[in-house]
Amino acid sequence: MSELYGERAIREAKLEVFDNRTPERDYTIQFTIPEFTCLCPRSGFPDFATLRVRYVPGPRCVELKSLKLYINAFRDRHVYHEDVVNSVLTDLVTAMAPRYCEVVGDFNVRGNIKTVVRAAHRDPAWGGEPDAWWEPP
């Protein structure tokens, strides 16, 4: 059977960005990805998580369809929880150059252990604070 169009779109996924149309103002963008999945690098069993991303844009914002495809590409990757969160953060920072960006991976219980991984980036020139009202898990 040949590769389906969705499989090809996921395989070729690249984060796309667009210009921030309000760069003079600090504002927060956040999204929740409730159906994240990847594979355990030791067992090959699937891991499931909710990813939460919030950022204060700099010159660029991430395009959501490209983010969806990028995230779906993890489903066949053998990757540790910590590496998921740090890879997503690094790729978003590289693509957007945000003033602030935080990624939280809230992984489902596995082997009686609940894992939450949080990583953040702050542009050294940015003196602002991320919104205090956002409460990740």
Q: Rounded to whole angstroms, how far apart are CA atoms 76 and 6?
A: 14
Burial class (CB in 10 A: 0-12, 13-18, 19+), 98: buried
Task: Tell me what the mean pLDDT of segment 100-115 comes to.
Answer: 94
Tokens of residue 68, six digits: 């969806």
Is position 61 annotated as part of the catalytic site? Answer: no
Mean pLDDT of the chain: 93
Q: What is the pLDDT of residue 104?
A: 96
Is position 19 annotated as part of the catalytic site? Answer: no
Task: Tell me what the mean pLDDT of segment 44-66 comes to.
Answer: 97
Q: What is the pLDDT of residue 111?
A: 86
So what's the architecture of 5-122 in CATH?
Answer: 2-Layer Sandwich (3.30)
Dihedral-angle region of residue 123 (phi above 0 means left; psi in -120 to 50 means alpha; beta otherwise): beta
Confidence of residue 132 (pLDDT cuts 50, 70, 90): low
Q: What is the pLDDT of residue 23?
A: 95
Confidence of residue 136 (pLDDT cuts 50, 70, 90): low
Among residues 19, 26, 40, 101, which one is catalytic?
A: 40
Among residues 38, 47, 61, 106, which one is catalytic?
A: 47
